[in-house]
Amino acid sequence: MCIRFHALVLLLIWLALGISTTAEAQERIPLRVDLGGYASINKIPFVIAHEKGIYEKNGLDVDQFVSSSATEVTRVVRELWFNLFKSSLNMPHQPIRPPNDRAPISIGGGMPHTLRRTTNANWTDWIVLATTDHVVRWHIVAQPEITSLEQLKGKRLGFSNVGAMTHYIALILADKMGWDPVQDISLISGAQSYHMLENGIVDAFIAFEVPYADAVAAGYKSLFDTRVWDIPVAGSGVNASESWLRDNRESARRFIKSLVEAIALMKKDKDVAFRAMAKWYNITDPQKQELIYAGAAEMPSKPYPAVAGLKKMMEIYDSNEMRKYKPEDFYDDSFVRELDESGFIDSLYK
């Protein structure tokens, strides 16, 4: 009788635990997240959040993937990156999705996302929830015979596509040099690799972390580090559909909490970042990993939306449509502010 009683108790405990586990699983909120295409240090915290179970700990069931549209800048770049993603990445959930498979949260430049609201009828409802990249900091890489920015006048400068972060930097360069961006320099889209230098397609290009690391490995040097300008930018971060956000603020709150936890982990343990680069982006070369990770030092622990960068965007891309908006139309800082004012973010660094 005693044995049966104990067995019954154990069975009831097991069933209770099973029910509890099921309940916890049911409480997780499903969330789809588009990481964008290109690897950069700003994408790594989201990979870490996935790999280290931070999303799950915060009650999210995240389907995190790469949109194929993010890799389709030019034929050469598209093939280079898509083949890399297709054959080398070890992501779950069949992570490469067609461009029409739009998620409510997109990881990428806040500036291009919000700029589209004034230029593209299909992108009228995106706002910035967090920014991990507040200052222009990428490199200009040029042909070896070009040794100064002044020599770029009349030359061909490569960038990714109009309205992208690299295009913004190209326009900043023209402004800094006092050049007409149409008449004094040729801005060539779809040129985001040192191969464009090798093939003579451009004379220089604007390189974010991965193309810069590749260019350095191929023997090229930085002509100019745009950090010295100290120009604000609404760079990579968390962008959300405003219409989705109205009914899903708890999902967004949990996601931003996961982000700040992952940033703290990345800053405190770079090996975690290196493993994420290797597994998700097939970047295993130590030199490349170090060059990419260098951007982690500049990533804010409190990733407030980059208001100064949004204001600069509105100045650079001034238009009739842009003047209908105010900076606050483009962001919601309440999620980061809540975590900051509660002391949660500071607690991660103690």
pLDDT higher at 238 or 122: 238
Distances (CA, A) of 176 to 161, 166, 262: 20, 15, 36
Q: Which residues, in sequence order, are CB contacts of 61 under 8 Å at separation 6+? A: 28, 29, 30, 31, 55
% of the chain surpassing 70 pLDDT: 82
Q: Is the pTM value of this prediction over 0.85? A: no
Helices 286-293 + 209-217 axis angle, to 10: 140
pLDDT at 217 over 70: yes
Q: pLDDT confidence of 142, banded at 50, 70, 90?
A: very high
Q: What percent of the chain has pLDDT over 90?
A: 66
In this structure, the number of other CB atoms found within 10 A of the CB of residue 199 comes to: 11
Q: Name the phi and psi angles at 221, rounded to 5.
A: -120, 160
Encode pLDDT of 11-35 as tens digits: 444 444 444 443 344 589 999 999 8
Give 297 or 306, the one with higher predicted confidence. 306
The pLDDT, as a whole number, for residue 156 is: 98
**Which residue, chain included where needed, has tokens 């009650």?**
59
Residue the block writes with tokens 């003579």: 200
Does 243 score more than 60 pLDDT? yes
Rounded Cα–Cα distance for residues 45 and 118 (Å) = 29
- The string of pLDDT tens digits covering residues 299-342 is 999 999 999 999 999 999 999 999 999 999 999 999 999 999 99
**Looking at residue 38, what is its pLDDT?**
62
Q: What CATH number does domain 139-229 carry, 3.30.360.10, 3.40.50.11720, 3.40.190.10, 3.40.50.300?
A: 3.40.190.10
Q: Which residue has the tokens 């949004």?
A: 310
Range in 171-175, 199-203, 292-296, 337-341 the model is least confident about = 292-296
Fold held by 29-134+233-347: D-Maltodextrin-Binding Protein; domain 2 (3.40.190)
Mean pLDDT of 167-195: 96
Whole-number pLDDT of residue 23: 35
pLDDT of res. 172: 96
User: Band of the pLDDT at 192, cuts 50, 70, 90?
Assistant: confident
pLDDT at 101: 56
pLDDT of residue 67: 65
Q: Where in the chain is the domain with CATH 3.40.190.10?
A: 29-134+233-347, 139-229
Average pLDDT, rounded, for the chain: 85
Is the pLDDT assigned to residue 72 strictly greater than 60?
no
Per-residue model confidence as pLDDT tens digits over 220-239: 999 999 999 999 999 999 99
Is the predicted pLDDT of residue 85 greater than 80, yes or no? no
- Which tokens go with 188? 């060539």
Mean pLDDT along residues 61-71: 72
Contact by Cβ (8 Å): 35, 107: yes
